[in-house]
Structure 1
């Protein structure tokens, strides 16, 4: 059981006040000032301050109120709580409280005081053997091209397809309905789904500060329907772009089977000679890299949050399409070149620094 002299406690209080009562910072400051002393846990700083306020003494209480407890001493108790989380960062306040015979609030307060906070995992895509090298090659090319021509990243038409269905993905954990306490539980409900399901397949693109689409593709996209779209509809969607941008534009898509059709690649070679990015293209697209395209890291997530934000259920395909169009118009009004350019630079630099590995968890 760790004990400290009154002099040590006094110096801890000085560091605690110097760091605006932030225990983690106070511990760092204490180590800097007194490198030859024992290093106290961060919880000690809050504990000695609390005891001084409540009892007028920095000494620890030696007795409790007679109620049986798993750990008798406040400071040792705090140390044990923090140690549980350091041994197993995936544990919960509920588990630790149950194991130590404490209230969950006591456990939460202790770990919060110690400077520990709960964080969510970041879901990332799977990377297979050989992917990191291809991702690094792609990012290095893009970054070097951006240095040679500061407008290069703004000249790429990034494209993708995504499915929107009737119900979307709803996180009910953070969905609340606030009402006066005296009314009790209002028992509100929200329609989650039904047996009648439908979806639409949406193509969109983004270039500089221009959002292209949405265009509604057949549900089951294949090489023939995708080629027909490129030959017959893409040009109409790009009509509003400035002529200079159209002349210098690169075309990007990923490596799904419909994109890899030979006639599709031949059409791109003819219409975007040496200026298209994709599987089998002059600049190969690295497989399993949704984190490197603004369609995935910006457009789709933003659009789906808008489409599914309304509480009213989506009753038909026409209603779903209307919401998608309205969401695209909302994004279009606020879109800037920085969304594409700054976002891509940051992600590609991190990808190179991580040797082609994941970048989402660092953003």
Structure 2
């Protein structure tokens, strides 16, 4: 249950954002230390206040919602959480023989909330200054040229397999009785495809199916023979000032590939440090192990795989068809490229604040927020 003040804040946020889903995201931004309501709670309180003029759900006793626990029991609950911040309300309830919801209410009344761990890429000590320098350089260029991010062709490759990555927590089957449905996640019949994509300005470039075992010569052939065709829909005025960003994969950094890239993109290259040959040095050095700083990683691949693996994939041809269809669907998302650039700028700023350290645990931006 929530207080009348909290329900009032929910109604105000629904009025500001238009619906409960957007309001729930806005709530997380404004009140990171308050209990996060389900988005349906926002819609329910608006409907309830319109129909009855009452904020609290039926049967809720104002002022009497908190369990009548003695002071010692509450102190025991708080002490256990202090000693083990990763414990659960059910574990505490079982140990002191009370309902776990009573434990939750005690913690909530003391402004204690459960926060999830955030998975992040491992960083080596030498990565921190490289990430910091990269972020500072990018932000500096954006200060001089506010459209700088629009000019960068962010590129990457990702492998899509038969099974992929499936979040079963988000898969449901509504039924009056348990239908005992299953989802195959392991198969002896395996296949995969290696997909290249790029993002520049308001255009998704690709997808393109690369060889499964990519080497320098195959990537060079792609740059010479396929990339120009993929860029046909990108206006000439964008191509003439376009930068090229690539990650640190070895096939991207042979001498022949670097020479071809500098020929195709004279305005600039963002890539791995090139060693002692000045002619092949990137204009901006890309920091290794930094998927949190490139749109393909923090948005594109997650979005595509969520779409591709919503149902089982039976063949390689079907897998490729789903990838292409998912890519086409991106252009139907309102303001998606503007939101991606906003997220990129926010990440660069946060990386500077954290001196090149991990940033994703401080971000509220996710695929779901970008897709609003």
2:239 corresponds to 1:243: no
Distance 1:20 1:114, change over 3 A: farther
1:297 aligns with 2:298: yes
- Residue 214 of structure 1 corresponds to 207
Structure 2 residue aligned with 1:111: 107
Distance (Å, rounded) in 1 between the aligned partners of 2:360 and 2:233:
33
Deviations 1:24-61 (A, max 9, x none): 99xxxxxxxxxxxxxxxxxxxxxxxx89749xxxxx98
Conservation of the 8 A alpha-carbon contact between 2:156 and 2:296: yes
Partner of residue 91 from structure 1, selected from 68, 87, 92 = 87
Instruction: Classify 1:20/1:237 alpha carbon distance in 2 versus 1 (closer, same or farther; 3 Å).
Output: closer
Q: In structure 2, what is the Cα distance between the partners aligned to 1:329 and 1:18?
A: 44
Q: Is the 8 A contact 2:153 2:198 kept in 1?
A: yes
Partner SS for 2:240 = helix
CA distance in 2, matches of 1:125, 1:53: 46
Counterparts in 2 of 1:177-188, with a 5 A limit? Answer: 177-180=173-176, 183=177, 185-188=178-181
Match of 1:356 in 2: 356
In our comparison, the structure showing a higher alpha carbon Rg is 1
**Structure 1 residues 314-348: Cα deviation after superposition (integer angstroms, max 9, x where no partner):** 11000000100010001122254313321111000
Q: Does 1:164 align with 2:160?
A: yes
Under a length normalisation based on structure 1, what TM-score does the superposition of the two structures give?
Answer: 0.77
TM-score (norm 2): 0.75
Equivalent residue, structure 1, for 2:317: 318
Q: Which is further off, 223-232 or 167-176? A: 167-176
Give the RMSD, CA atoms, in angstroms: 2.7
CA displacement, residues 264-319 of structure 1 (integer Å, 9 cap, x when unaligned): 11111222235111112222111111111111111111111111123xx2110000
**SS of corresponding position for 2:193:** strand
1:210/1:52 CA distance change after superposition, 3 Å:
closer
Is the CA contact (8 Å cut-off) linking 1:198 and 1:317 kept in structure 2? yes
Distance 1:330 1:18, change over 3 A: closer
Does structure 2 conserve the Cα–Cα contact (< 8 Å) formed by 1:213 and 1:237? yes
List alignment gaps of at least 5 residues for structure 1. 1-15, 26-49, 55-59, 62-72
- Look up the match of 2:141: 145
Distance, in Å, in 2 between the alignment partners of 1:345 and 1:52 is 45
Matched, 1:307 2:308: yes
Residue-pair matches, total: 304
Q: Which runs of 5+ in 2 are unaligned?
A: 10-32, 35-60, 275-281, 364-372
Residue 83 of structure 1: how far off its partner (Å):
2.7
Instruction: Supply the distance in 1 between the matched residues of 2:139 and 2:343 (Cα, whole angstroms).
Output: 12
Other-structure match for 1:228: 221
